[in-house]
Amino acid sequence: MDVDPRHYDLVCTSQAFVNVGSTLCGLQNAIDASEGINENDIHNVVLSYLVHNCFNETMESFIACTGMKQPDDHLEGMEKRKRIFNFALDGNALKAIELTNQLAHDLLEKNEELYFDLLSIHFGELVRSRKCSEALEFAQAKLTHFGKVQKYVEKLEDFMALLAYEEPDKSPMFHLLGLEYRQKIAESLNRAILEHMNLPSYTAMERLIQQTTVVRQCLSQEPGKDTHAPFSLKDFLES
């Protein structure tokens, strides 16, 4: 669904650049052939994306291709963030929590919703493995108190309902066990860690596309102007 300009902060475009590493040197050739574009600005935009998403090897290739200086101040944190992200993505939420507490010790204490989401990943993995008794014990020990907060009640009910199915990944709540669910939480955790470290929680590339989306939509809706087809972020990214 295309984004309303009023929902500017909800625009998320990271998935549009998953394959960015394969085109980095091609980008350099495009920059060389262009006019009116600051080469260093383009390089910094791409580098910020690679650092943000912990693409270590691709970042090194990009630096070698462009001759940029390596951002030494981010390297240690980037490697730790990458491990945390991968643990959350793979369903090992308890390890992700442990490493997060080491890197940003009070982050999950202050961000209860993110902590709940990570715990829910672990519960889901226990259910998927048909360790129902262990899942119930974990829910009683770690999730029960969330039931006192209204915004968690419905989600808790959905997770507990998974226990009723022989094949929970084929239940109406199957999405709670899927990769997309874990990826969303892993990305939220990565952003939260970056913010905790006083680093940008969104990349320059994402912000530029957010701004482009808003400007194009506002222009297309401006009264008295020729009518154009509504701006589509999806079509823009694929063009």
Distance (Å, whole) CA 46 – CA 41: 9
Q: State residue 144's pLDDT score.
A: 94
* Residue 68 and residue 140 share a domain: no
- pLDDT, tens only, 149-161: 999 999 999 999 9
pLDDT at 84 over 70: yes
The answer, as to whether pTM is greater than 0.75, is: no
Other Cβ atoms within 10 Å of 108 Cβ, number:
21
Task: Note whether 197 and 104 are within 8 A (CB).
Answer: yes
pLDDT at 22 over 70: no
* Residue 88 and residue 182 share a domain: yes
Distance (Å, whole) CA 4 – CA 221: 11
* Residue 195 and residue 84 share a domain: yes
**210 domain-assigned:** no
Q: State residue 20's pLDDT score.
A: 44
* Residue 58 and residue 79 share a domain: no
Q: State residue 223's pLDDT score.
A: 58
Q: Copy the structure tokens of residue 49.
A: 């994306």
**172 domain-assigned:** yes
**232 domain-assigned:** no
Q: State residue 13's pLDDT score.
A: 40
* Residue 95 and residue 200 share a domain: yes
* Residue 190 and residue 85 share a domain: yes
Q: Which domain holds residue 42?
A: 36-72
Q: State residue 164's pLDDT score.
A: 93
* Residue 92 and residue 150 share a domain: yes
**237 domain-assigned:** no
* Residue 155 and residue 40 share a domain: no
* Residue 112 and residue 62 share a domain: no
Mean pLDDT over all residues of the chain?
A: 80
Q: State residue 131's pLDDT score.
A: 96
Would you place residue 114 in the very low, low, confident or very high pLDDT band (cuts 50, 70, 90)?
A: very high
Q: Which of these, 131, 110, 113, lies nearest to 122 by C-alpha position?
A: 131
The number of distinct structural domains making up the chain is: 2
